[in-house]
Amino acid sequence: MNIRPARVGDVPSIYELIRTFADRKVMIRRSLGELYESIREFQVAIDDNDRVVGCAALHVFWEDLAELKCLAVAEDVQRAGVGRGLVEACWNQARELEINSVFALTYAVEFFERCGYQQMDKADLPHKIWNECVRCPLFPNCTEVALIRSHEPVPRTADAENRLQLIQV
């Protein structure tokens, strides 16, 4: 199994992976256009037959905050470490960008906890993240959980609050 930055040729496979889980309402559907536009945010897992078996994206919000999103692993290779590998690849990318905290909104709470994430109050996230949620079929009754992994303790200072408010729309 190899994890590498995605290429435009991976987009149809990423689209299909996400669509499978979007149909079950555990992920937000992404159009091909959106995927091409954001392809530089994606990492993919490739198996020995060159098949895309997993994907994840890191979306930067601000100087100290990014979201891990679009995480999906093909059902036939789940529970074999692919998801953890993708989460680590995104975390390493965040570190290279000098971003301290990465959060995720998910139903896969135990999986993220096993990957070093801690539950947090959704209300502590910047309002900007809800722009995408309005496209979700479950909005506004979503029960997704917010989890975060940080190099530093989760920001609670007045300074951090001010910075978060700066990126709210």
Ligand X SMILES: CC(C)(COP(=O)(O)OP(=O)(O)OC[C@H]1O[C@@H](n2cnc3c(N)ncnc32)[C@H](O)[C@@H]1OP(=O)(O)O)[C@@H](O)C(=O)NCCC(=O)NCCS
| Residues with Cβ within 8 Å of residue 26, at least 6 apart in sequence | 107
Contacts of 53 (CB under 8 A, 6+ apart): 1, 45, 46, 47, 73, 74, 76, 77, 82
Q: Any residues with CB less than 8 A from the CB of 5 and at least 6 apart, and which?
A: 40, 42, 43, 44
The binder of ligand X chosen from 108, 133, 154, 160 (CB under 6 A): 108
Cβ 35 to ligand X, closest distance in Å?
A: 16
- Here's the x/- map for ligand X, 135-154, by CB under 6 A: it reads as --------------------
Q: Please list every residue from 22 through 61 that binds ligand X, using CB under 6 A.
A: 26-27
Binding to ligand X by residue 80, rule CB under 6 A?
Answer: yes
15 lies in the site for ligand X, by CB under 6 A: no
Residue type, 7: R
In the bound complex, what is the minimum distance in angstroms from residue 104's beta carbon to ligand X? 5
Instruction: Please name which of 101, 99, 152 lies closest in space to residue 125, comparing C-alpha atoms.
Output: 101
Q: Which of 11, 104, 125, 164 binds ligand X (CB under 6 A)?
A: 104
Residues lying near ligand X in the complex (CB under 6 A) are found at 21, 26-27, 71-73, 78-84, 104, 106-108, 110-111, 114
